[in-house]
Amino acid sequence: MRMYDVITAKKRGLELTDDQIAYVVKGFTAGEIPDYQMSALLMAICLKGLNMRETTTLTLEMAKSGDMLDLSAIRGIKADKHSTGGVGDKTTLIVAPIVASLGIPVAKMSGRGLGHTGGTIDKLESIPGFRTTIPADEFIRNVNEMKLAVAGQSANLAPADKKMYALRDVTATVDNISLIASSIMSKKLASGANVIVLDVKTGSGAFMKTFEDSAALAEAMVTIGNNCGRRTYAIITDMNQVLGRYVGNWLEVREAIDILKGQGDEELRLVSITLASYMILGCGVAASLDEARTLAENAITSGAAFAKFREFVERQSGDVRFIDDPASMTAADFEVPVYAPCDGFISEINAEEVGMASLLLGGGREKKEDSVDPLVGLRVDLKVGDKVKAGQLLGVLYADDEARIEAAKERFAGAFRYTGESVNAVPPIYAYVDENGVHKV
Ligand code: URA
């Protein structure tokens, strides 16, 4: 087989065979196919597309390019969730203990934040002592004994994706639904869970800015997952504003604790309960989504979900004194209020800009090697649709470095848009996606 012929076939709009796709992924991962030929193929894919069979094969080959996590030593049907990346998205910290408290094993590989979006591993590491690198046998033992473990992604998870993503990033070939879906799903398939629930974000702070693109991505990923024998669902959720009220690693852990204690932001609660419900349904612990939702809600009201979170933190060596009493954590040095410049209604809170404000305070990283300050971040006090008066509090920045405050303040204030006309609130959930397609709510 020759790479030249594969590129030619796709350039002409022909379907690639499974053998051709396997040849490309293996050859590229092994360094036998050079970047320039892979770039040409990626561009041909962007221009001519891949059908669902080609996309599924590509995903499976990428998943098989490195370690396939063997979770067979874990008893029961394993559930996983994945978010396409948002600002203020701390749902894993809420959903995982809810589901685990119902006896469903959650063996989760999570990532760090990059750019304006946060990552679960950074959030967990804001808890003093918390270990996100744990040996495989301890990971499996924890899931078997207490149903929950979260660790950083192994370096050898879907290496084909890592190489392809780096190339796509610099060859203008990121924004193709098949390539994004296969990239995300290759890592999910390699992570070994039987049930996968995807949170596909849509809006200004999301990778996919329009509902149509988000729905197409969600549908592709659900089809790939189901084609590969994993029960897969997606929900399409809003990222036209921050999810919840807080952005910043420790601040988000605190907010997750609030939800687990039955308090906190209603939209964050709703998205978390919905994700948990699909995981519960997918694992067969409930016969209907309504029943699953009731189980998830009861896990919060009974205190079981919070108790599971505390147990999980303790198991991974986190200092539970801060879980029992979050207010005892040292606060960031500066609290900076930010005020509205005019009267009106909030028409937009650009989540990407809010995420960037937190990043400028030191709460996120621009480059993979950057370190993060666990205590900094911000609070957003208003939502889209709220009526506002000039001088009213928009939110608060939490900063440790005075020199970073001005730029972050400007970015944060600039994220808000105002209008004289009243504006509808944005719903937190737009649609759900199962094997039968996209269902708007
Ligand atoms: N996230 C991924 O993991 N891959 C993509 O291609 C896009 C977003």
**pLDDT 10s digits, 231-289:** 999 999 999 999 999 999 999 999 999 999 999 999 999 999 999 999 999 999 999 99
Q: What is the pLDDT of residues 8-49, one digit of tens each?
A: 999 999 999 999 999 999 999 999 999 999 999 999 999 999
Measure the CA dihedral 387/389/394/400, to 10°. Answer: 180
User: If you measure from the C-alpha of residue 64 to the centroid of ligand 1, how many angstroms do you get, rounded to a whole number?
Assistant: 17
Which tokens is 10 given? 């796709």
Q: What is the pLDDT of residues 229-243, one digit of tens each?
A: 999 999 999 999 999
Handedness of CA 382, 218, 55, 64 (dihedral sign): positive
Residue 114 pLDDT > 80, yes or no?
Answer: no
Q: What share of the chain is helix, strand, coil (3-state, %, to 5)?
A: 45, 15, 35
- Return mean pLDDT, the chain: 96
Query: Which residue among 80, 89, 122, 161 is the active-site one?
Result: 161
Distance CA 360, CA 439 (A): 38
User: If you measure from the C-alpha of residue 233 to the centroid of ligand 1, how many angstroms do you get, rounded to a whole number?
Assistant: 18
- Please list, residue by residue across 346-355, b when 16 or more beta carbons sit within 10 angstroms of its beta carbon and e when fewer do: bbbbbbbbbb
Atom of ligand 1 nearest to the CA of 183: 4
Q: Whose CA is nearest to atom 1 of ligand 1?
A: 184
Q: What is the pLDDT of residues 152-167, one digit of tens each?
A: 988 789 999 999 999 9
Q: What is the pLDDT of residues 339-380, one digit of tens each?
A: 999 999 999 999 999 999 999 999 988 777 788 999 999 999
161 given a catalytic annotation: yes
261 given a catalytic annotation: no
Query: Which residue among 10, 81, 82, 123 is the active-site one?
Result: 82
Atom of ligand 1 nearest to the CA of 207: 8
Q: Which domains does the chain have, with CATH numbers?
A: 3-49 (1.20.970.10), 79-324+430-440 (3.40.1030.10), 332-419 (3.90.1170.30)
| Residue 61 to residues 20, 30, 54, 189, Cα–Cα distance (Å) | 11, 13, 11, 10
Residue 66 pLDDT > 90, yes or no?
Answer: yes
Q: Whose CA is nearest to atom 3 of ligand 1?
A: 184
Atom of ligand 1 nearest to the CA of 168: 6
| Residue 26 to residues 80, 157, 230, 297, 298, Cα–Cα distance (Å) | 27, 14, 23, 45, 47
439 given a catalytic annotation: no
* Contact between residue 334 and residue 378 where contact means Cβ atoms under 8 Å apart: no
Q: DSSP alpha helices (H): ranges in 171-282?
A: 177-190, 211-227, 249-260, 266-282
Q: What is the pLDDT of residues 393-424, one digit of tens each?
A: 999 999 999 999 999 999 999 999 999 999 99
Q: Which residues are near ligand 1 (CB < 6 Å)?
A: 165, 174, 180, 183-184, 207
